Amino acid sequence: MNIGIPKERRSYEFRVGLSPTGVQILSSQKHVCYVEHDAGLGAGFTDQEYERAGARIVYSPHEVFGGADLLIKVARPMIEEINWLRSNTCIAGLLHLSSAREDKIDKLLSNQITTVAFEHLQLDDGSYPVRRPLAQIGGLMAAQVAARLLQSDAGGNGILMGGVVGVPPAEVVIIGAGVVGTCAAQAFLGMGAHVTVLDVDLDALQRIHDRIPGIVTMISNPVNIAKASENADVLLGAIFVTGERIPIVVTRDIVKRMKPRSIILDLSIDEGGCVETSHPTTHDHPTFIEEGVIHYCVPNIPGVVARTSTNAYVNAAFPYIMEIANNGIDLAISQNSGIERAIQTHRGKMVHLICLSKGKRME
């Protein structure tokens, strides 16, 4: 199979879809890997490393997109990239198509492109093996981002996350006790913050309570969210709902009642967001102020720790990439229920894709 690894074109997206090690394994299986010039540079992988692994370096995006039977990306393709693809080809990556513009979905359908959204690849036990390591990175990074935004020179209230003797620490509220929320809670607590976690699932709260002694847990409902948010210096949205739109759990009215210059990090923004006042931002312009509150809503947070997140992504996704390459997409779908659940579009039809009805769409 001809496999394409393009250079990511989105601003501040430094990751790459496949490492030289992945290329070496695929090449040993007689697959041909076309790597776009400097595709791995942001993650610290040179063209020479890819060539030594057996890749063919190409210098035009048209070559890598147009020649690929399977295109391996990280971020959702832009409209021009979709236009470069041949009909009836397959693209795999962290696609987040539920929040994409309608014209992209229409183009994927009209060109009969098969899309494999690895963030939705779910095993029979309910786990998300590809999403998990990147969610861990996002959760861990949330604490360092929030610590920076709390500083006076960043517009925050000038609060040290852990406080000092005689001065209390920051109040951090996390909505969602999944992988992102758990890793964020660990990181915030490690910095000395006072951490409260809310979730609708009592079992999830029990797990995080047992795993991280010292946090406060609350059932997530409108009353508790409003109460906790009013006291928060940092409010983190970390909700992921399988096969459904992300619900808005933090309304504008709640945001209005938060402390001036407090921080909202909506880490659910790649699926539409869980805060009514949030909208997607980028690493070069990561924040905006709404209702007096600083909002940070960058979808690709792990993109700026590209070496770590590329290796984590490839480690998790590679078994499925190999299965698609060796068997073809149709056989892979029929034989692997995890891959089947990750299919968003196939042969001109929407499969498991649920699009947002309005707002917060991303390029």
Could you tell me which residues come within 8 angstroms of residue 47 by beta carbon, excluding any fewer than 6 positions away? Answer: 35, 37, 38, 40, 57
Q: Catalytic residue at 284?
A: no
How many angstroms from the chain centroid is the CA of residue 304? 12
Is 96 a residue of the active site?
Answer: yes
Contact between 338 and 121 under an 8 Å Cβ cutoff? The reply is yes
The DSSP line for 274-335 is SBTT-----SSS-EEEETTEEEE--TTGGGGSHHHHHHHHHHHHHHHHHHHHHH-HHHHHHH
Q: Which helix (H) or strand (E) holds 195?
A: strand 194-199
Give the CA count within 13 Å in the CB-facing half-sphere of 225: 21
Q: Where are the alpha helices (DSSP H) in the chain?
A: 20-28, 47-52, 61-66, 79-84, 102-110, 131-149, 179-190, 202-211, 222-230, 252-256, 306-327, 329-335, 337-342
CB contact at 8 A, 175 and 236: yes
What is the Cα–Cα distance from 95 to 212, expressed in whole angstroms?
32
Structure tokens that stand for 54 in this block:
């057996």
Select which of 96, 120, 194, 346 is catalytic.
96
Instruction: For residues 96 and 174, give the distance between their C-alpha atoms in angstroms, rounded to a whole number.
Output: 22
Selected catalytic residue, list 120, 194, 270, 352: 270
- Catalytic residue positions, numbered: 96, 270
